[in-house]
Structure 1
């Protein structure tokens, strides 16, 4: 996966619209599916404690709404409108994969493994991009320090490393 330039305003606007639409659709569809299930399959008489015993039908309605909304979101991920949102989502997933192996990657970097330097270069650069897009100003300075330390180490070893060299398969080699 290559890092690409993302317009922050477009990303934020599209993300907010996607999240709002997903939540609104989920709420409305949950109510509709729950009402339809209760209408066709539910008990009509309430027990003395006021319960109709239709809770399970409401839960099924919520699950149906989640499946439908997720399916629609999945079908739209390649649309130009979703380009930035889907890119950042995939980038965050990749960062999570790298984070889970970060201790091993840092050990490999301590042993001057070139692939480890490529992974770390991509990881820190992508973290900086995600933090910038999400306005995470608290930890971006730490990432910038990590980038500076990594670049100093790479320069000290006189090797050529860039985030563009990263391929997800490199994670399997560490």
Structure 2
């Protein structure tokens, strides 16, 4: 995957719209599905005299509609997930989907980070390529997400990596990165 320049203002605007839309639709659809399921299948309000007498004489907890509401939330999540999956390649989602994919790759690298970092210290070219991509992508994502607290630490690590690369005499860049390189570790 190649790192590309992202318009931060457009990314933040679209991300905020997606977040508000997702939360709003999740709320509305959860209530809608829950209400629909309760009206179709629930019999909580229908208590006969015999059942009421049994409940009164025995300490029985009354039935609730929790399971129907939970199913409503799950259905709302599924509908939202399908919708996001269908529109992920649209122009509106270009930046959001790109950042999501970069974060997925960062997570894959992070899972094997100790091995990769050790190999990078030993001058292995594959590890240096992965680390170059990892640190450069972290810089980009942190800047897009306004995570300025750890930005200086990442810049320092990238500088140290670039010094290591220079000392090995290799020509390494983040553009050489491919997902399959992670499988080496």
TM-score (norm 1): 0.96
Contact 2:128–2:172 (CA under 8 A) maintained in structure 1:
yes
Matched residues in 2 for 1:52 and 1:40: separation?
16
Do 1:45 and 1:52's aligned partners in 2 also have CA atoms closer than 8 Å?
Answer: no
- 1:73-126 deviation digits (Å, cap 9, x = unpaired): 111100010000000011111101101111000111122100000000000000
Q: Structure 1: any 5+ residue segments left out of the alignment?
A: none
Report the equivalent of 1:104. 115
Question: What is residue 42 of structure 1 aligned with on the other side?
Answer: 42
2:168 and 2:34 mapped to 1: Cα distance? 63
- Residue 65 of structure 1: aligned partner: 76
CA contact (8 A) 1:3 1:126 kept: yes
- Taking the aligned partners of 1:37 and 1:51, their CA distance within structure 2 comes to 18
Per the TM alignment, residue 54 of structure 1 is displaced from its structure 2 partner at its CA by 1.2
Structure 2 contact 102–137 (Cα < 8 Å) conserved: yes
1:54 aligns with 2:65: yes
1:152 to 163, 167, 174: 163
Q: Residues of 2 paired with 1:120 and 1:145: CA distance?
A: 13
| Structure 1: 4+ residue segments shifted above 3 A | 45-52
Offset, 1:45: 3.3
Report the Cα distance in structure 2 between the residues aligned to 1:105 and 1:164, rounded to whole angstroms. 18
Q: Between Structure 1 and Structure 2, how many residues are aligned?
A: 174
Task: Using structure 2 for the length normalisation, give the TM-score.
Answer: 0.90
Q: For structure 2, which runs of at least 5 residues remain unmatched after alignment?
A: none
In structure 2, C-alpha distance between the alignment counterparts of 1:12 and 1:22, rounded to whole Å: 15
1:173 to partner: Cα distance: 1.3
Contact 1:37 1:61 in 2 (8 A): yes
Structure 2 counterpart of 1:115, from 103, 108, 126: 126
